Amino acid sequence: MKKKLMKALVYHGPGNKSWEEKEKPVIQHPSDAIVRITKTTICGTDLHILKGDVPEVVDGRTLGHEGVGVIEETGGFVTRFKKGDHVLISCITSCGICEYCRKGIYSHCENGGWILGHLIDGTQAEYVRIPYADTSLYKIPDNSDEEALVMLSDILPTGYECGVLNGKIEPGSTVAIIGAGPIGLAALLTAQFYAPSEIIMIDPDDNRLSVAKKMGATKTINNHVEMATEKVLSFTQNKGVDTVIEAVGIPETFELCQSLVVAGGVIANVGVHGKSVNLHLEQLWSKNITITTRLVDTSSTPMLMKTVQSGKLNSKQLITHRFKLFEIIRAYECFGQAAKEKSLKVILSND
């Protein structure tokens, strides 16, 4: 039987990618579903892969772990979805039965976790195979705003779970978010679920800070031209903030977090770090603080869908550029030159 072909964005080693023909995925296990992609997007992690920072990604791998689409085919074990269903794809694949999944830590699923566009072919393609479809896809109403929902594949649960939930943001509390890229902004949007009294956004890019202001930041600090610690202390009667969210991933910003947190507060790390950092236990041992790390579990996805559908969360604000799926190489350029292009999230449509 002749294999069917489709187009996909394929990784060919550090610095190399191409939009090319490859075989359309097929059901490999009865819990799989094949999804025709209607909308997808590009993540900062995809840029890391292209730099060669994620060596598990092999030559020939289709990239991408975000998307919305339509079920094309389901394996025999799939009970919650059928051909034609409109679905949101979670960046985390969850088997639903291992010890970690039963605890809600889907990111450490023994059979899944982050595998799309990483250990198996991903979503920047016309079709994608999703293992454990029953517990890794979410049905969406047919009249849904697909663009708003693509933001829920990864970036919004990441900002919410790793930043806001771990950061224990509460009504009236004070928050600083370091990094106003898409993830930091996702934390900013979802932090507002809890009515904090201050959300201070810190970033060296004035454009991103002005975006943050529009999205609800109460204060902004350009930490290339201002002393961030001094300003935050001046905003908080010299105490520091209740929650600091690290959304960059370098030693300098983690250092800054430690100088901003109040006694009894939380540092919630979201950034992907490539190096170890210096932890000032000689000062912090007696400060009653909590530091958290987390790979997104996407356990909050059903809740986030409700907040989008009820209008509490305007996730589309994060989208700055739109392309056709076949224009993905140009879309990568736009996304990769974020400061110049003033890009946040880009949408790729497969119409």
- In the complex with its own copies, which residue's Cβ is closer, 247 or 328? 247
- The tokens describing 207, both together, are 């454009």
Site string for its own copies, 225-244 (x = CB under 8 A): --------------------
CA 36 from chain centre, in angstroms, equals 21
Joined together, the tokens standing for residue 202 give: 């810190």
**Backbone phi, then psi, for 218, in 5-degree steps?**
-90, -25
Residue 272 Cβ, how far from its own copies at the closest point, in Å? 6
- Structural tokens at position 56: 């598990």
Q: Is 51 in the site for its own copies (CB under 8 A)?
A: no
Q: Is 45 in the site for its own copies (CB under 8 A)?
A: no
CB atoms within 10 A of CB 180: 30
* 23 near its own copies, rule: CB under 8 A: no
**Spatial contact of 97 and 154, defined as CB atoms under 8 Å apart:** no
User: Would you count residue 105 as binding its own copies (CB under 8 A)?
Assistant: yes
Euclidean distance between CA atoms 131 and 122, whole angstroms: 11
Alpha-carbon gap, residue 128 to 17, rounded angstroms:
18
Question: Tokens representing 80?
Answer: 């919650």
Nearer to its own copies, 122 or 271 (CB): 271
Q: Rule CB under 8 A: is residue 99 a binding residue for its own copies?
A: yes
Alpha carbon distance 104, 107 (integer Å): 9
Question: Is residue 293 part of the contact set for its own copies (CB under 8 A)?
Answer: yes
Question: Which range of residues in 118-126, 222-230, 275-283, 314-322 is near its own copies by CB under 8 A?
Answer: 275-283
Binding stretches for its own copies (CB under 8 A): 30-31, 76-77, 79-80, 96-97, 99-100, 102-105, 107-108, 134-135, 170-172, 190, 192-195, 197-198, 218, 249, 254, 263-264, 269, 271-282, 284-295, 297, 299, 302-307, 309-310, 312-313
